[in-house]
Amino acid sequence: MTGIINEQQSTTPEFPPKLGTINFKQAVFLQSASALTNAPLDTGSEVAFAGRSNAGKSSAINTLTGNRKLARTSRTPGRTQLINFFALSEQQRLVDLPGYGYAKVPLKMKREWNKHMEAYLQRRQSLRGLVLLMDVRHPLTDQDEQMVRWAASATMPVHVLLTKADKLKRGPAKNTLLSVRARLLEFGDTTSVQLFSSLKGDGLKELETLLRAWLTDASVFDEAADSDD
Ligand code: GDP
Q: CATH number, domain at 54? A: 3.40.50.300
Cα separation of 91 and 188, whole Å?
29
Q: Is residue 5 part of a domain?
A: no
Greater confidence (122 vs 102) lies with 122
pLDDT at position 111 over 70: yes
Q: Write phi, then psi, for 78 (nearest 5 degrees).
A: 95, -20
At residue 79, the pLDDT reads 61
203 CB within 6 A, ligand 1: no
- State how many domains the chain has: 1
At residue 135, the pLDDT reads 98
Q: Is residue 113 part of a domain?
A: yes
31 CB within 6 A, ligand 1: no
At residue 160, the pLDDT reads 98
**Domain range holding 189?**
24-213
Q: Is residue 17 part of a domain?
A: no
Q: Is residue 229 part of a domain?
A: no
How far is the centre of ligand 1, averaged over its atoms, from the C-alpha of 159 (Å)?
Answer: 18
198 CB within 6 A, ligand 1: yes
pLDDT at position 104 over 90: no
> In the chain, what percentage of residues exceed pLDDT 70?
83
Greater confidence (10 vs 59) lies with 59
Q: Is residue 19 part of a domain?
A: no
In the predicted model, what is the mean pLDDT of residues 77-87? Answer: 80
How far is the centre of ligand 1, averaged over its atoms, from the C-alpha of 132 (Å)?
Answer: 14
Q: Is residue 162 part of a domain?
A: yes
> In the chain, what percentage of residues exceed pLDDT 90?
64
Greater confidence (34 vs 105) lies with 34
How far is the centre of ligand 1, averaged over its atoms, from the C-alpha of 51 (Å)?
Answer: 12
56 CB within 6 A, ligand 1: yes
Greater confidence (8 vs 214) lies with 214
In the predicted model, what is the mean pLDDT of residues 76-81? Answer: 65
107 sits in the region (left: phi over 0; alpha: psi -120 to 50; else beta) called: alpha
* β partners of residue 133: 51, 161
- The chain-wide mean pLDDT, for the chain, equals 86
At residue 5, the pLDDT reads 45
Distances 75 to 3, 157, 198, 229 between C-alpha atoms, Å:
17, 27, 18, 43
How far is the centre of ligand 1, averaged over its atoms, from the C-alpha of 14 (Å)?
Answer: 32
